[in-house]
Structure 1
Amino acid sequence: MTVNNPEERKAIRVLFVCTIVPVLCMAFQDLGSKYGGMDWLTKGYAAWPIMIAPVAMLVVLIRYRELISNPKGANFSQVIKLVSCLFLIPNVAVIIGYSWLAIISVLATLAILVTDRQLKKQAAS
């Protein structure tokens, strides 16, 4: 994927960080608690980044919403929808197994999907 727009490049980098940090925390928590004898790595070490990431992505969407209306920002629109959908299932699992606070993350994910669609409709008209 080649991104020529510097604003879109910056937005996608922030989305990359919002995506990779929770994944690394989950991997470190799993490996560290099983094989490293690190008992201080609780479920919360992996759950909180998963819950915070969709809220951070919603902030990124609000900050870079003009990229969705712009035809040159098609990559950003696709990436944020894909990443937010990927966080939907783990957050539902977090609601069931860890904390009801993850409902905020699920609502943020759904807001991203709805807002993206609405911004595209506004740009088309």
Structure 2
Amino acid sequence: MKFLAAFTLTPILCFAFQDLGSKHGGWDWLTTGYAVWPMMIGPVLMLLLFIRNIELIRDPRRGANFSQTIKIVSCIFVLPNVFAAIGYSWLAVVPLLCCLTILVADRQLKEQARS
């Protein structure tokens, strides 16, 4: 859960500092890429975390909290990565696919565990 929190909060904080620093601080080095790249790297790291902890999702008694949290975070990251793919770089398609993979695989693993 600590890693998932770090992968979620880092891009959000980068966006906040980029916005505040470029508007009010006059820091020209805080570009859009400073905020967008962590938003695109986060879902890839979340997918690796998902694959590493796949046994938690198969056992709903132990991993219900992890499963629900990673699905919520993946849903949150879908929309910004769509905008990043359209407006910033086509490479944002990779984290978008990672988010969708987490959402679909979670549902399939839960269905397999019920059977």
Q: Same fold (TM over 0.5)?
A: yes
More helix by percentage: 2
Q: How does 1:71-86 map to 2 (within 5 A)?
A: 71=60, 72-86=62-76
**Partner of 1:101: helix, strand, or coil?**
helix
Q: CA deviation at 1:67?
A: 0.4
Q: Does 1:111 align with 2:101?
A: yes
TM superposition outliers: structure 1 runs of 4+ over 2 Å: none
**Partner of 1:41: helix, strand, or coil?**
coil
Q: Distance in 2 between matches of 1:97 and 1:30?
A: 17
Unaligned stretches of 5+ residues in structure 1: 1-11
Q: How does 1:35-54 map to 2 (within 5 A)?
A: 35-54=24-43
**Partner of 2:25: helix, strand, or coil?**
coil
Q: Does 1:98 align with 2:91?
A: no
AA at the equivalent of 2:109: L
Q: CA deviation at 1:13?
A: 1.2
* Partner residue in 2 for 1:13: 2
Unaligned stretches of 5+ residues in structure 2: none
Q: Distance in 2 between matches of 1:41 and 1:73?
A: 38
Q: Distance in 1 between matches of 2:112 and 2:2?
A: 26
Q: How does 1:27-38 map to 2 (within 5 A)?
A: 27-38=16-27
Q: How does 1:53-72 map to 2 (within 5 A)?
A: 53-71=42-60, 72=62
AA at the equivalent of 2:77: F
AA at the equivalent of 2:7: C
Identity %: 62
